[in-house]
A and B are shown apart, each in its own frame.
Chain A
Amino acid sequence: MALKGLDIFKLTPKKNCKECGSPTCMAFSMKVASGAVSIDKCPHMSAEALATLSESTAPLMKTITVGAGSNEHKLGGETVLFRHEKTLVNRNLYAVTLCSCMDDAEIDAKIEQIKKVDYERIGEREYVEFLFLNYAGNGAEKYVALVNKAMAADRALVLNCSDADVAKAALDVCKAAKPILNGANAENLDAMNAVATAAGVTLGVTGEGISGIYDNIKALEAKGNKNLIIDCTGKTAKETFANAVQVRRSNLKDQERTLGYPSIVNLAAIAEGDLHMQTALASAFTLRYGSIIVMENMTYAEALALYGLRQNIFTDPQKPMKVEPGIYALNGADENSVCSLTVDFALTYFLVSGEYERSKCPVNLLITDASGMSVLTAWAAGKFSAGTIKKFFDEADIENKIKSRTLIIPGKVAVMKGEIEAKLPGWNVVVGPMEAVQLVKFIKDFNA
């Protein structure tokens, strides 16, 4: 049970010594109750009180760290079921399958293909984070060979192998890379647990339905293993969805700590061969509680849609997405092309640049720092004014970089035209349309 601030307050020394960083014991207790600070910040708690409290104030869902070096990733650690309730913390990650049944050439070709999708979208690297290595039952030698190849691909690994001996052989060569060992079930629980704990890696556990999953986690936790991830994959999409939702909801809403681990959903298993269906399911599991989503493939077409969706869903509602201020030359614009000015709110940037690209007219899109606010919001907050624009022009050295002296401003801030002209002598300030969707027609007419 989560404790209320008052319950915690009763256990504090009530001295208001401020050593915890909070002004009073009451303030400290409230922060602990909300999960903002950890109880051990108070140096005066009795050991007994600490033990009771740290158990019940620990986060409901654990954060599991897997992979090593530049391939280290954090999973889980969520505190809410829906992003509007607070924010989602760790975005879901993607894995693509490889199999010990594939020959060397096939493996190399698929790794090459996986590596091709690797690009940046609003300050975030978008790529396949994990290789998901299926063991086809054809002997440890084949599997270790696959693992060795995968190790060279510079990605985090998931070993999908429920044969404990083969898993041990594989871990002997790759445990330093901190892979996930996925494949514990009711039959092999003890053996898999021994192999995973000996190698110090996260163990993926599954079970027959939600109660089977629960029993297996209980058994593993009883042996002291709390470095787990839950494989929610069932026989069908429906079963998998039910597992993923019920695991997360029982954990965060009904406070069932046993289910407080991140999840794996294997779409390559439940929608084998149907790439479009895998996209549909990946999209659903992005919203409903997949931590690692396993795909048979990640084409550019899938990536553009799925990574865009993920970036949207995992933005913090309290912090807007921003793009870098600067000059964005669109459609082959050069120093003589007309300039168009807007704010650094990512959505504004995407809509405006998208419309200009559709117009095929060369435009220098100038993005000014407006703290990530939209045009009218930024204007109202004083973050998008003749003054900030002048400052941006100076800092980015626009006058020397661009010869054109035509500047299109958003129609919504037409009122700033005069002030901008005063601050930027020599520039012809033109008022653009109210909405981005009217830009194609506007710029074509303007150039005509």
Chain B
Amino acid sequence: MAFTPKKQAFNAKINAVTLGTGDKSIVIGGENVLPFYTFDAPMANAPKIAVEISDKGLAGIVSPGILDFYAGCETVVDMAKKAETMEGVSAICLHFESADPNAENTSVEDCVALAKAVADAVEMPILVMGCKNIEKDAELFNAISDALQGKNILVLSAREENYKNVGASAGLAYNQKVGAESAVDINLAKQLNVLLSQLGVPAQSICMNVGSSAAGYGFEYLSSTLDRVKAAALAQNDAQLQMPIVTPISSETWGVKESMSPEEESPEWGPLDERGIEMEVCTASACLVGGSDMVIMKHPAAVATIAKFIDSLM
């Protein structure tokens, strides 16, 4: 008799969360199987890719491939429009790096103006990434969520220290989606979801960022956190861990020396762009297989590869 492997589809499923509005809106999550285990049951929605754009434009970008792609763009709005044409992309992630009080300290008003301009120019869903400063991010998310009401954006992220502000403004008052960020620990991830739920933010409005790291840089913690979160959500039907996972890739991978070290310094390593692409591809793929429902990336070649990778496994 022919051997038939046992199937492992679960009764529980990941929440399906909608981002954006209109024709270009997307749904992430919804699956009741482990990532790409389509032989158990079809995955409800393919994982998605968002492309990251800094509010500083191309300043600080070392990759020739990224610079080439945006050649001719004069403003961040131009870049956002161009990013929409990138093969495999379904959302735009606006990263307000310069809002950091320890850096350029761009004012909340200026950030809001930029967010509005970008939102008016593009049709794809918008993700807003803060500057990692707790107070400034809370203020920023509040103002941008207000200004972009009705756009159904995702703010990244609410953390343990500012979840009340961010949850109350973005999640409750302005009806946007809230990213809950914790540092590679399943218990912290769950706790933050519980806190946001107690605040009244509906489960369908929460996504998780359970941490991020580049391949080779403590990635085992992230990988095991992803594995454990998916196992708890699906096998144990833990409703407080069934939020889809959004993982920033490029903000980590383009900061490590493999991606940044100029070719003159280590000639045997070969061209910088190639190293950066491979780091981004390798890290994104490992996150998707672990359970990320959306990854945030930068390089057009890496995005195209990961889009093809997702397609080929769906």
Contact = CB atoms under 8 A, between A and B. Distances in A.
Contacts of A305: 215-216, 258, 275, 278-279, 281-283
A150 B258 CA distance: 30
B78 interface: no
Contacts, number: 172
A245 B37 contact: yes
B236 to A, nearest CB: 14
Interface stretch (A46-54, A176-184, A278-286, A398-406): A278-286
Interface in B170-226: 214-220, 223-224
Interface string B129-154: 00000000000000000000000000
B3 A312 contact: no
A225 interface: no
A204 to B, nearest CB: 19
Contacts of B156: none
A116 B260 CA distance: 21
Given A280-B285, A301-B277, A287 B39 contact: no
A83 interface: yes
Contacts of A299: 270, 274, 278
B219 A312 contact: yes
A304 B275 contact: yes
A333 interface: no
A64 B216 CA distance: 27
A242 B38 contact: yes
Contact of A237 (B216, B217, B228, B313): B313
A282 B309 CA distance: 11
Interface in A239-254: 241-242, 245-246, 249-250, 253-254
B79 interface: no
A393 interface: no
Given A84-B227, A211-B3, A358-B260, A304 B279 contact: yes
A249 B5 contact: yes
B122 interface: no
A311 B288 CA distance: 19
B308 A304 contact: no
A307 B275 CA distance: 13
A84 B224 contact: yes
Given A83-B223, A238-B38, A308 B216 contact: yes
A210 B309 CA distance: 22
A300 B309 contact: no
Interface stretch (B9-17, B21-29, B89-97, B298-306): B298-306
B3 A288 contact: no
Given A242-B39, A357-B257, A210 B5 contact: yes
Contact of A84 (B228, B256, B279): B228
B281 A276 contact: yes
B126 to A, nearest CB: 26
B278 A302 contact: yes
Contacts of A283: 215, 281-283, 285-286, 289
Contacts of A215: 2-3
Nearest to B215: A309
Contact of B223 (A281, A307, A313): A313
B8 interface: yes
Contact of B39 (A82, A246, A312, A351): A246
Contacts of A254: 5-6
B269 A301 contact: yes
Contacts of B215: 283, 305-306, 308-309, 312
Interface size class of A (residues with CB under 8 A): 35 or more
A347 B50 CA distance: 28
A300 B38 CA distance: 33
Nearest to A305: B282
Contacts of A34: none
A315 interface: yes
A351 B231 CA distance: 30
A304 B278 contact: yes
A304 B258 contact: yes
Contacts of B2: 211, 214-215
A377 interface: no
Interface in A259-290: 274, 276-277, 279-284, 286-288
Given A254-B6, A288-B289, A308-B258, A116 B268 contact: yes
B133 to A, nearest CB: 13
B312 interface: yes
A300 B178 CA distance: 39
Interface in B237-290: 256-258, 260-261, 268-271, 274-275, 277-279, 281-286, 288-290
A148 interface: no
A366 B195 CA distance: 42
B4 interface: yes
Given A288-B289, A312-B218, A214 B3 contact: yes
Contacts of B4: 211
A350 interface: yes
Contact of B309 (A277, A311, A315, A357): A277
B282 A306 contact: yes
A287 B39 CA distance: 18
Contact of A280 (B218, B305, B314): B305
A285 B215 CA distance: 14
Given A82-B231, A300-B270, A280 B220 contact: no
B268 A238 contact: no
A362 interface: no
B36 interface: yes
Given A210-B5, A305-B279, A305-B282, A300 B268 contact: yes
A274 B219 CA distance: 25
Contacts of B302: 276
A300 B314 CA distance: 30
Interface in A75-109: 82-84
Nearest to B217: A350
Nearest to B275: A301
Contact of A301 (B223, B274, B290, B312): B274
A18 to B, nearest CB: 38
Contacts of B6: 249-250, 253-254
9 smallest CB-CB distances across A and B, nearest first, come from: A308-B216, A305-B282, A214-B3, A309-B215, A283-B285, A276-B305, A280-B309, A280-B285, A312-B219
5 contacts: A246-B5, A280-B309, A301-B277, A311-B216, A317-B220
Interface of B: 2-6, 8, 36-39, 102, 214-220, 223-224, 227-228, 231, 256-258, 260-261, 268-271, 274-275, 277-279, 281-286, 288-290, 301-302, 305-306, 308-309, 312-314
